[in-house]
Structure formats: C-alpha cells, structure tokens
Amino acid sequence: MTDQATSDPDARPLDRLRAGNARFLDRIAESDDPDAAAAALAAADPYAIVLGCSDSRVPPELVFDESVGRLFVIRVASNVAGNEEIGTIEYAVARWGCPLVVVLGHTQCGGVAAAMERLPAGAEPTPDATGSTHLGMLLGSIRANLGWTGHETVNDPWLSAVRMNVRRTIEQILLWSVPLRSRVGEGRLAIAGAVYAVETGEVEFLEVGRS
C-alpha cells in the first residue's frame, strides 16, 4: 500500500499516523503467518514494569530491545510518580505478578531542566507555565524531587538532577504504596533506578530500592 503521507515529511500529522498504521498492517499481512503475527500482538506477559519519561527519544521497548507484550510501560514527563502512576504500577503487579519495576530517567531531560532553579549550559529554556495550572503542578512535582544539596559543586548538575529525580521517585513509590512496599520487603519485588543516555543509547542502572 502506498500513500503520499507515507514518505512526505510535510504531511499532516494525522495523515502520517494513518499511513504508518497502514504500513504496520501490511507487514502483518505479508508475514509468513499473519494469524500468528496478529496473535503475538494480543499477547501480554510482562516481566517488568517501566516508569519512564514521555520524551520521544526514550521508548522503553526499543531501549531494552524487547518485543510487544513483555514490558508494562508507564510514561509521564520526567518519570514522576503521582497517584495515577503508582496505581498503575500496583495494577500491573497485581495482574501479572511482575517482579521488577524500573524507574527510567534520561539525559537531557527537558522536564528536569525546566524545574531546575539554575539551568545548566545546554539545557532547554524553562517553558512558560503562565495560565497552565497543570504544567505548573508537574514542574512542582519535579522540583519537589530535586532539592539542591550538592548539585552546585558537581561537574554535570543536569545529570545529577536527573539521577536524583529517579531516586526520589523510587522513594515516593515505597513511601506511598503499602502493597508495593510490602512486596519489596518480602523479596517478591525489586525497584531499580536507571538513566538512559540519549547520546549513546546506554542505560546506567543506579540501585535497587528496598523497604
């Protein structure tokens, strides 16, 4: 199937999405076993939960080279954990018994940069939150994770802030969720922090959270 939107970078965004889905369907239909290919898409057996950032450069399935259905992915700007994110993690743990949660931050995180009191060189400018209570609340959540103890003296304050944001998110998950904290204490669940380097593709694992 061909479509002008398939190769035209100036096509309307919705047209590009439609064309992309058409190519996806074509690949299923042209596979050696279309029924098996379709069934594989419907299979869900995740062994890990990934709470990651919404940044378009950090798709967990590609970062970890995993197939559809093997990761339960939650994405929100700067991988913060509010009621909805923690509730979603609790659901996945209860539904599939996943033994691992990974909080995945990344270098060059725009949300972390926007929340920093003093932006490091190369960081994106702070977005104007005027008139957006929701964006202001998001930045407030990130700022609450950061603090500034020790950050002014490190070589890369932006990366240091990204790591701190990951660690604080883990702390919040353990503090606010009794079911998850209990599973961690019983040894049935681990919560690991990680930072993906958008410059190289490498994931740095930070630590495993414990109750």
Among candidate residues 158, 89, 147, the one with its CA nearest the CA of residue 119: 158
DSSP state of 77: G
pLDDT at residue 29 above 80?
yes
Predicted pLDDT at 140: 86
Burial class (CB in 10 A: 0-12, 13-18, 19+), 208: middle
Of residues 207 and 92, more confidently modeled: 92
pLDDT at residue 171 above 70?
yes
pTM: 0.85
Question: What is the arithmetic mean of pLDDT over 50-56?
Answer: 97
Q: How far apart are CA 81 and CA 88, in angstroms?
A: 10
Predicted pLDDT at 114: 86
Predicted pLDDT at 97: 96
CATH class of 44-209: alpha beta
Residue with tokens 């190769």: 7
> Which residue type sits at 1?
M
Q: Tell me the per-residue pLDDT of 127-158, one tens digit each, with 9 for 90 and over.
A: 565 566 788 888 888 888 887 544 455 678 88
Predicted pLDDT at 179: 97
CA–CA distances in Å: residue 96 to residues 28, 49, 69, 192: 27, 10, 11, 18
Query: How far apart are the two ends of the chain, measured CA to CA in Å?
Result: 53
Could you give the residue range(s) of every CATH 3.40.1050.10 domain in the chain? Answer: 44-209
Question: What is the arithmetic mean of pLDDT over 70-89?
Answer: 97
Q: How far apart are CA 133 and CA 144, in angstroms?
A: 16
